[in-house]
Amino acid sequence: MDTDRIAGAAKEFAGKAEGAVGEMTGDSKTEASGRAREAAGAVQNLYGQAKDAADTAVNYAKETYENRGETIRSGQQALTKTVQDNPIGALLVAGGLGLALGLLLSRPPRRPPPRWRY
């Protein structure tokens, strides 16, 4: 947990308390100061949450980058085993993908529909 989150939550709580005291006593200056402190605490808390999320994302990316070789190898081994277990199915899938790709790449470009004149 980031220190900004802790400090922000503390400021937000103190601002709520100060605003409530200002509201109870009728002192608008104290109430406004409390609301400003509460808003500053909320912003600092959100900043801390964003930093935590960024740190988590960076750590996840580092772990993924470090384990990339194992993931690729395990995927290759699974694909090899599947093809060895069912070679005809693998040929049919590869042929279907090739046919679909060929049809997509060789079709003529679409033309806009003609405009009707009234």
Provide the residue ranges of all domains of the chain, joining segments of one domain with +.
1-66, 68-106
What is the chain's pLDDT, residue by residue, as a tens digit (118 residues)?
A: 678 888 888 888 888 888 888 888 888 888 888 888 888 888 988 888 888 889 889 998 888 888 888 888 888 899 999 999 999 999 999 999 999 999 999 888 777 777 776 6
Tallying the residues shown for the chain, one arrives at 118
C-alpha dihedral (23, 24, 28, 29), degrees to nearest 10 = -100
The structure's pTM equals 0.52
- Determine the residue type at 109: P
Residues 61-72, buried b or exposed e (16+ Cβ, 10 A)? eeeeeeeeeeee
